[in-house]
């Protein structure tokens, strides 16, 4: 899309580089759960979600419809208090012990 956008070549290269760097940072911190903004602790109780990141900041919010549950991947969809958009937390089976992962999947499936 950037290649088809009119404008100087240098500006298009700069825009493509910025987009690629932002995507890599998002993949590292959100999908791979690495870095200071990655989720380190997640607690769900009664539809209330508490999330703590690598920098120690805690946020609370509500569990939203649309969480994904499969044997190989679970995605928790939640909205922090005061936020306009939902957030997601991907959870793979190796991140939790088997019983906790099963309880999480059952909780989300019936929420």
Q: Taking the domains of the chain in order of start, what are their residue ranges?
A: 1-32, 37-109
Look up the CATH architecture of domain 37-109: Roll (2.30)
Asked whether 67 and 42 are in contact (CB, 8 A), the reply is no
Which is more confident, 100 or 111?
Answer: 100
**Residue 79 scores a pLDDT above 90:** yes
For the full predicted model, state whether its pTM sits above 0.75.
Answer: no
Query: Could you give the CA distance from residue 73 to residue 77 in angstroms, rounded to a whole number?
Result: 13
Q: 28: which 2 tokens?
A: 């590292």
Q: Which residues pair with 80 in a beta bridge?
A: 61
């Amino acid at each position: 899309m950037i290649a088809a956008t009119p404008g100087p070549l240098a500006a298009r290269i700069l825009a493509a580089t910025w987009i690629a760097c932002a995507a890599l940072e998002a993949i590292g911190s959100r999908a791979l759960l690495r870095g200071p903004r990655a989720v380190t602790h997640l607690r769900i109780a009664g539809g209330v979600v508490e999330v703590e990141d690598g920098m120690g900041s805690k946020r609370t919010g509500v569990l939203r419809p649309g969480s994904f549950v499969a044997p190989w991947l679970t995605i928790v969809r939640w909205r922090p208090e005061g936020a306009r958009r939902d957030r997601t937390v991907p959870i793979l089976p190796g991140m939790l012990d088997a019983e906790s992962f099963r309880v999480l999947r059952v909780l989300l499936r019936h929420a």
